[in-house]
Amino acid sequence: MIRWISGIIGLGIVAVLGWSLLWSVVGVVTDPPAPTAEHYVRSHHPLLSAELPSEGLFGKYDLRQLQRGFQVYKEVCAACHSIRLVSFRDLKQLGYDDGQVKAIAAGWQIEQPNVNPDTGEVATRKNLPSDRFPLVFANDVAARAANNNAVPPDLSLMTKARHEGPDYVYSLVGHGYVNQPADLLAKFPDAKTPKGLHYNQYFANLNIAMPPPLTQDGQVQYLDGTKPTVDQMAKDVAAFLTWTAEPNLDTRHGAGFAVLGFLLVFCFLAYGAYQNVWRNMKH
Rounded mean pLDDT, 142-157: 93
Rounded-to-10 torsion of CA 187, 177, 56, 252: -120
Q: What is the pLDDT of residues 74-107, one digit of tens each?
A: 999 999 999 999 999 999 999 999 999 999 999 9
pLDDT higher than 60, residue 283? no
- Assign residue 56 a region: left if phi > 0, alpha if psi is -120 to 50, beta otherwise? left
Do the annotations mark residue 81 as ligand-binding?
yes
Same domain for 185 and 52 = yes
Pick from 24-38, 50-64, 185-199, 251-265: least confident:
24-38
Beta bridge partner(s), residue 198: 208
H/E run at residue 122: strand 122-125
Amino acid 184 reads: L
The CATH number given to whatever domain includes residue 53 is 1.10.760.10
Q: Are residues 70 and 17 in the same domain?
A: no
User: H or E stretch including 123?
Assistant: strand 122-125
267 is in an annotated binding site: no
The answer to whether position 38 is within a domain reads: no
> Do residues 81 and 201 share a domain?
yes
180 in the same domain as 227: yes
d(CA 198, CA 180): 9
Report the pLDDT averaged over residues 109-130.
82
Averaged over 235-263, what is the pLDDT?
85
- Spell out the alpha helix ranges (H) of the chain: 2-30, 37-44, 63-72, 98-106, 140-146, 158-161, 165-175, 182-187, 230-245, 249-277
pLDDT tens digits for range 40-71:
888 889 999 999 999 988 889 999 999 999 99
Is position 44 annotated in a ligand binding site?
no
80 annotated as a binding-site residue: yes
Q: What count of Cα atoms within 13 Å lies in the side-chain half-sphere of residue 96?
A: 21
29 and 53 assigned to the same domain: no
For residue 31, pLDDT beyond 60: no
Number of domains in the chain: 2
pLDDT of the residue at 66:
97
Residues 6 or more apart whose CB falls under 8 angstroms from that of 243 comprise: 54, 61, 66, 69, 93, 94, 249
Tell me the CB-side half-sphere exposure of residue 44, using CA atoms within 13 A: 10
Structural domain including 13 reads 2-33
Residues 178 and 240 in one domain: yes
Give the dihedral sign, CA 151/40/232/178.
negative
Strand partners, 162: none
| pLDDT reading at 251 higher than 80 | no
* Mean model confidence pLDDT for the chain: 88
pLDDT, residue 247, reads 93
Q: Does residue 82 share a domain with residue 6?
A: no
